[in-house]
Amino acid sequence: MFTGIITDVGEVLEVESRGDTRFRIASHYDPDTVEIGASIAHDGCCLTVIDKGYLDDGGMWHDLEASAETLSKTTLGEWRPGRKVNLERALKVGDELGGHIVSGHVDGVGEIVSIRPEGDSKIFRFRIPEELARFVAPKGSVALDGTSLTVNAVEGCEFEINIIPHTQQVTTWGEAWEGRHINVEIDMLARYVARLAEFHGC
């Protein structure tokens, strides 16, 4: 489980297809604190560390594998060396829950429709698949590229979010562009409320 509070911005170093696709990611995490088999959310997608090593700057690289199914349901199929990715390590019991409960299971891929400044912040407008749009509500939470964000306004399959300067600085949102695809995970609470509303017995 995760909270949607990004703890590092990593960089894709290598991409290798060998049955499944293998990625090598650089980060600023302390290698001694990350175990093989650990779960780390990469742009909101929970993936398993299968190998690791040390970087000259004291950070680490780690390897992960993604199946064809994962590539087809997320933005990972677009990853190339040099791409920056939002990283979050798994939640530990007793950690501060600063965002909302995020599972790391991506529900679909959306798109940045527009970006416009508003003061020091930026208003992002997103479009998501119709089957996910019903789970997004004003003042509700949504995880986009692994970041816990609050929805400002909703119009059909599009919605807007205000991203403050701090979030832009410590995540990949400061480098985002119109037309970019993003991973979407709907709020778990919204999912269950919708299920209860539509359930009419077995």
Supply the pLDDT for residue 202: 73
Residue 159: give the domain boundaries: 108-198
Q: Final residue of a domain: which of 89, 116, 139?
A: 89
Q: How many domains does the chain have?
A: 2
Q: Final residue of a domain: which of 89, 122, 140?
A: 89
Supply the pLDDT for residue 194: 74
Kindly state whether residues 119 and 190 are assigned to the same domain: yes
Supply the pLDDT for residue 91: 83
Kindly state whether residues 114 and 64 are assigned to the same domain: no
Question: Does residue 161 fall inside a structural domain?
Answer: yes
Question: Does residue 1 fall inside a structural domain?
Answer: no
Kindly state whether residues 191 and 113 are assigned to the same domain: yes
Kindly state whether residues 77 and 115 are assigned to the same domain: no
Question: Does residue 3 fall inside a structural domain?
Answer: no
Kindly state whether residues 77 and 113 are assigned to the same domain: no
Beta partners for residue 10, in sequence order: 85
With CA atoms as reference, report the closest residue to 147 among 130, 117, 124: 124
138 or 196: which leads in pLDDT: 138
Question: Does residue 2 fall inside a structural domain?
Answer: no
Kindly state whether residues 120 and 192 are assigned to the same domain: yes
Question: Does residue 188 fall inside a structural domain?
Answer: yes
Supply the pLDDT for residue 201: 74
Supply the pLDDT for residue 94: 67
Overall average pLDDT of the 2-30 stretch: 95
Q: What is the pLDDT of residues 112-133, one digit of tens each?
A: 999 999 999 999 999 999 999 9
3-state secondary structure (DSSP) of residue 71? helix
With CA atoms as reference, report the closest residue to 51 among 40, 37, 33: 37
Q: Final residue of a domain: which of 62, 89, 116?
A: 89
**What is the C-alpha separation between 5 and 89, in angstroms, rounded?**
9
Asked whether the predicted pLDDT for residue 14 surpasses 90, the reply is yes
Give Cα 116 to chain centroid, integer Å.
21
Structural contact between residues 115 and 178, judged by C-beta atoms closer than 8 angstroms: yes
Asked whether the predicted pLDDT for residue 88 surpasses 80, the reply is yes
Question: Looking at residue 123, which CATH number applies to its domain?
Answer: 2.40.30.20
Question: Does residue 102 fall inside a structural domain?
Answer: no
Structural contact between residues 119 and 165, judged by C-beta atoms closer than 8 angstroms: no
75 DSSP 8-state letter: S
pLDDT-wise least confident of 19-28, 80-89, 192-201:
192-201
Kindly state whether residues 113 and 190 are assigned to the same domain: yes
